[in-house]
Chains A and B, each alone.
Chain A
Amino acid sequence: MTDTLLALDGLTKAYPGVIANDGVSFRIAPGEVHALLGENGAGKSTLVKMIYGLVKPDAGRMALRGAPYTPDRPSEARTNGVAMVFQHFSLFEALDVAENIALGMENPPRRRELAASIRQVSHDYGLPLDPARLVGELSAGERQRVEIIRCLLQNPRLLIMDEPTSVLTPQEVEILFATLRKLSSEGTAILYISHKLDEIRALCDAATVLRRGKVVGTCVPRETTAREMAELMVGTTLHTPERRHRENGETLLELRGVSLPAATPFGTNLHALSLKVQAGEVMGIGGVAGNGQDEFLSVLSGESLQEPGRVFVDGVDIGALPPQTRRSLGVLAAPEERLGHAAAPDMTLVENALLTGSVREKLAPHGLVNWAATRAFAARIIEAFDVRTPNADVAARALSGGNLQKFVIGREILQAPRVLVVNQPTWGVDAAAAATIRQALLDLAGQGAAVIVISQDLDELMEIADRFAALNAGRLTDPRATAGLSLDEIGLMMGGAHDMEVAHAAQ
């Protein structure tokens, strides 16, 4: 690997108040699978946007196959053989696969030829896809396949993939990796962005680690442990959450056949969910995004009401009680969407502390808000969860995602809930803070609360959950003890790989 496909030299990009990339340099060889590692906000996205022509660097040079490379727009990057699969898909649900692919091409061929080449590419790379199917009917994994095939049809020299596995089941990840390995063996370089270290160790030849916009290290992932890479990313020694030995407690939360029609045309129906969670237990709910996680949380938070006899806490039927009454009973929740759901973006942290804290912390006796007590409560959250903010009077939207997440989770945990439901508790949070949050959830369970963690991060669930169940198209699987549960079994619980194995066998 002596020749170089893409060379980055001293790339710098500053935004007001933050230097997103500071003198970033590295090289990618043809056929190399190169990982770009870093926490949220480390500058990975800005870097690949510069390579893809979406953002112009303030300083520094890029060279593609030795020639200066300064893409002004993505189409220029594509003509130079650089393609990118984004984390969020840009597909039209009402159009079919071939139409979607044609929309992303500069000069789309005629439909019949395009359909033929889609079939050809999808067969060659083990990514089965019917060009005539509507995108709206496809699973997340299949939609990603549309994006990948759209890129492959342009014969890229460099394929950039931004967090490609966050929406996939383990089986689908295996299929994707097989495709990427085949591409790499044919000489296509892949720039792979992720923070899932095990995946990077399985797939990548080299890794560049970014921290606060700077390259802080490179490594060969196969020869480095996940822990070492994580510590390189974070810059400190990581603390692994400790799980206390747990006695079997009494059943604290029970769902008996909870169903819920979707609130919006794109929502998910819940079908007859039943679940028992004991005091002192951490229940992990996995599943690919959009399989009913938001709806599940709304049933427990009280945003969606149930008919009598469906939801019990301590034997009390809470299914029809409004959110504040549930809070007084100790049933708390922290939704996934921080801005606009868990917190009001334009309100201060003090006001956001009042948002859920008014009942249990008695911040508004007789309806009169005690702002001094509310301010003290906000300060306690900021202190206990190391929320980085100048003071408690800044608007919630001014905080970084991770810091606001710490605030939102801390706000619920500090109210000493008896039942706590959290959705994606560590999403976008740096590794050190994630460890703090996970430890706090475990401690909470240790004090006898029932904790339900909904997450798409399977490693997280394996780390802290006692039992695991998967949400799949609004149905909940039977919970299984996490001890001894294999990744394959989890994948099957999550809905498997949508019959994908066949395609690879055909190769």
Chain B
Amino acid sequence: MIRLEKRPTPSQAWTVLTPPVAVLATMVAGGLMFAALGKDPFEAIRTIFYDPLFNDQFAAYSRPQLLVKAGPLILIAIGLSLGFRAGVWNIGAEGQYIVGALCGAGVGLAMYPSGSVLVFPAMVMAGALGGWAWAMIPAILKTRFNTNEILVSLLLVYVAEQLLASAALGLLRNPEGGGFPGSRNFQQWPAAANPELITGTGMHWGVVAAFVAVIGAYALLSRHLLGFQIRLTGAAPRAARFAGVNPTRLVVICLGLSGLLAGMAGLFEVTGPAGQISIDFGSGYGFTAIIVAFLGRLHPVGILLAGLLMALTYIGGELAQFMLGVPAAAIQAFQGMLLFFLLAVDVLSNYRLRFGTREVA
């Protein structure tokens, strides 16, 4: 019989070891799954983890994609992690991402075809404000009427998707687009474009913002009283109230910050890699970022690494799809395994395993 025994103090070693062990376990279990599907497991694993970065044929295209995909994931996940630390569950980052992109794009298009250097900064501000405002809806409903922020923020994603479709077809549609849905392409308007900053790296302003957010969140959590209050509220809500943390203020701050960053991510995406507002602009970054936040153990540096890893499995997964004919569902299952094993192995940092039969005390 195996029993779990709570450790008096969380194990430092396991806290660090958990992610690599989970990745290894995912490779083993995923390999078995690919084998069961009739694919060579070693080749599949290599295609997912190795080829996107080092294959002679594909790496030139897929290596920059790593930062392009990881940037928004990290930026959104950093914001989410602050709330998750405090027990504020913003599940609707996808909606804030969309609304941020819509607001930023709308402000930009209103200035078309200005060539002012202020166009792009104004769009970033508008995108951040849009995401923030969308996140304020669950925040106010929660603090005023005690609604559940999980449900409200999640359902607002679907509202945001409708807004997106409506804007792409109507309000923001490109007047010179021949009636096709979708806005003007920002890539072709230098004042509003979010270009690749260093050729061949995939680095754009959104990736810069993600790195700044990582550093900022690290400083906030480790050095600032607000970060301490966030951690305290998540760890012991009653102790937090005793310490004088205002729960209403914290909910508003946490939801606001995560909405702000998600909105910025949306704006950087629409002006950069996506290029325009289109019906299928919502790409699921807001949901995947939840996995990234937890995969990174809600720690800024962990999220940075987890975002890169998650991006890698996306790119490698796509590669495996068209190289090996692995079904898309298998790739999703593979990504799911990663989170599953992470949470399973995570138990070991707070508990130790005891083998053998002993009576229940």
Tell me whether A and B are bound partners: yes
CA distance A342 to B238 in the complex (A): 8
**Contact of B225 with A369 in the complex, beta carbons under 8 Å:** yes
Chain A 360-391: CB-based contact to B (< 8 A → 1; otherwise 0): 00001001110100000000000000000000
CB of A462 within 8 Å of the partner chain: no
Interface locus among A157-165, A243-251, A268-276, A392-400? A392-400
Chain B 163-193: CB-based contact to A (< 8 A → 1; otherwise 0): 0000000000000000000000000000000
With A340-B238, A354-B228, A397-B8 known to touch, is A327 a contact of B244 (CB < 8 Å)?
yes
- Considering the complex, which residues of chain B in the window 225-249 have a beta carbon less than 8 Å from any beta carbon of chain A? 225-226, 228, 231-232, 235-236, 238-244, 246
Shortest C-beta distance, A425 to chain B (Å), equals: 16
Residues of A within 8 A of B243 (CB): 323-324, 355-356
CB of A302 within 8 Å of the partner chain: yes
CA distance A337 to B226 in the complex (A): 24
**Contact of A302 with B244 in the complex, beta carbons under 8 Å:** yes
Chain B 11-51: CB-based contact to A (< 8 A → 1; otherwise 0): 00000000000000000000000000000000000000000
**Contact of A342 with B239 in the complex, beta carbons under 8 Å:** yes
CB of A112 within 8 Å of the partner chain: no
**Contact of A16 with B5 in the complex, beta carbons under 8 Å:** yes
Residues of A within 8 A of B244 (CB): 302, 322-324, 327
Shortest C-beta distance, B33 to chain A (Å), equals: 35
Residues of B within 8 A of A123 (CB): none
Residues of B within 8 A of A74 (CB): none
Shortest C-beta distance, B284 to chain A (Å), equals: 33
Shortest C-beta distance, A151 to chain B (Å), equals: 23
* Nearest B residue (CB) for A365: B225
Shortest C-beta distance, A475 to chain B (Å), equals: 25
Interface locus among A113-121, A203-211, A345-353? A345-353
With A302-B244, A394-B9 known to touch, is A340 a contact of B239 (CB < 8 Å)?
yes
- Considering the complex, which residues of chain A in the window 84-107 have a beta carbon less than 8 Å from any beta carbon of chain B? none
CB of B329 within 8 Å of the partner chain: no
CA distance A35 to B239 in the complex (A): 38
**Contact of B238 with A351 in the complex, beta carbons under 8 Å:** no
Residues of B within 8 A of A368 (CB): 223-225
- Considering the complex, which residues of chain B in the window 245-283 have a beta carbon less than 8 Å from any beta carbon of chain A? 246
Partner of A346, one of B5, B10, B359: B10
Residues of B within 8 A of A333 (CB): 242
* Nearest A residue (CB) for B219: A368
Partner of B242, one of A301, A358, A364, A367: A301
CA distance A180 to B236 in the complex (A): 42
**Contact of B361 with A55 in the complex, beta carbons under 8 Å:** yes
CA distance A344 to B245 in the complex (A): 13
CB of A343 within 8 Å of the partner chain: yes
With A351-B228, A356-B243, A367-B224 known to touch, is A398 a contact of B235 (CB < 8 Å)?
no
* Nearest B residue (CB) for A54: B361
Residues of A within 8 A of B5 (CB): 16
CA distance A15 to B361 in the complex (A): 9
Shortest C-beta distance, A253 to chain B (Å), equals: 19
Chain B 202-240: CB-based contact to A (< 8 A → 1; otherwise 0): 000000000000000000000111101001100110111
* Nearest B residue (CB) for A16: B5
CA distance A337 to B238 in the complex (A): 10
Partner of B225, one of A342, A347, A364, A395: A364
CA distance A408 to B295 in the complex (A): 35
**Contact of B235 with A346 in the complex, beta carbons under 8 Å:** yes
CA distance A347 to B242 in the complex (A): 15
With A322-B246, A369-B224 known to touch, is A344 a contact of B239 (CB < 8 Å)?
yes
Report whether over half of chain B's contact residues are helix, strand or loop; otherwise say mixed. helix
**Contact of B225 with A367 in the complex, beta carbons under 8 Å:** yes
With A368-B225, A369-B225, A369-B228 known to touch, is A341 a contact of B361 (CB < 8 Å)?
no
**Contact of B10 with A342 in the complex, beta carbons under 8 Å:** no
CB of A303 within 8 Å of the partner chain: yes
CA distance A371 to B223 in the complex (A): 8
Residues of A within 8 A of B232 (CB): 344, 347, 351, 355
CA distance A56 to B360 in the complex (A): 9
Residues of B within 8 A of A340 (CB): 236, 238-239
CB of A335 within 8 Å of the partner chain: yes
Shortest C-beta distance, B146 to chain A (Å), equals: 14
Shortest C-beta distance, A336 to chain B (Å), equals: 11
Residues of B within 8 A of A346 (CB): 10, 235-236
**Contact of A55 with B359 in the complex, beta carbons under 8 Å:** yes
**Contact of A369 with B223 in the complex, beta carbons under 8 Å:** yes
- Considering the complex, which residues of chain A in the window 287-340 have a beta carbon less than 8 Å from any beta carbon of chain B? 301-303, 322-324, 327, 333, 335, 337, 340
With A354-B228, A364-B225 known to touch, is A398 a contact of B238 (CB < 8 Å)?
no
Residues of B within 8 A of A371 (CB): 223
Residues of B within 8 A of A345 (CB): 235-236
Shortest C-beta distance, A378 to chain B (Å), equals: 14
CA distance A333 to B246 in the complex (A): 18
Partner of A398, one of B8, B224, B225, B361: B8
Residues of A within 8 A of B228 (CB): 351, 354, 364, 369
CA distance A303 to B224 in the complex (A): 23
Shortest C-beta distance, A51 to chain B (Å), equals: 15
Chain B 325-361: CB-based contact to A (< 8 A → 1; otherwise 0): 0000000000000000000000000000000000101
Chain A 2-16: CB-based contact to B (< 8 A → 1; otherwise 0): 000000000000011
Shortest C-beta distance, B46 to chain A (Å), equals: 40
CA distance A301 to B9 in the complex (A): 29
* Nearest B residue (CB) for A297: B242
* Nearest A residue (CB) for B227: A369
Shortest C-beta distance, A374 to chain B (Å), equals: 10
Shortest C-beta distance, B210 to chain A (Å), equals: 24
**Contact of A347 with B235 in the complex, beta carbons under 8 Å:** yes
Residues of A within 8 A of B361 (CB): 15, 55
CA distance A333 to B244 in the complex (A): 12
Residues of B within 8 A of A356 (CB): 242-243
- List 7 A-B pairs, Cβ < 8 Å: A15-B361, A337-B238, A340-B239, A354-B228, A355-B242, A397-B8, A398-B9
Q: Can you name 17 extra interface pairs (CB under 8 A) apart from A323-B243, A367-B224?
A: A302-B244, A303-B242, A322-B246, A323-B242, A323-B244, A335-B242, A340-B239, A341-B238, A342-B239, A344-B240, A347-B231, A351-B231, A355-B242, A364-B228, A369-B223, A371-B223, A395-B9
A-B interface, 4 closest residue pairs, ranked by CB to CB distance from nearest: A323-B244, A398-B8, A324-B244, A344-B236
A residues in contact (CB < 8 Å) with B: 15-16, 55-56, 301-303, 322-324, 327, 333, 335, 337, 340-347, 351, 354-356, 358, 364, 367-369, 371, 394-395, 397-398
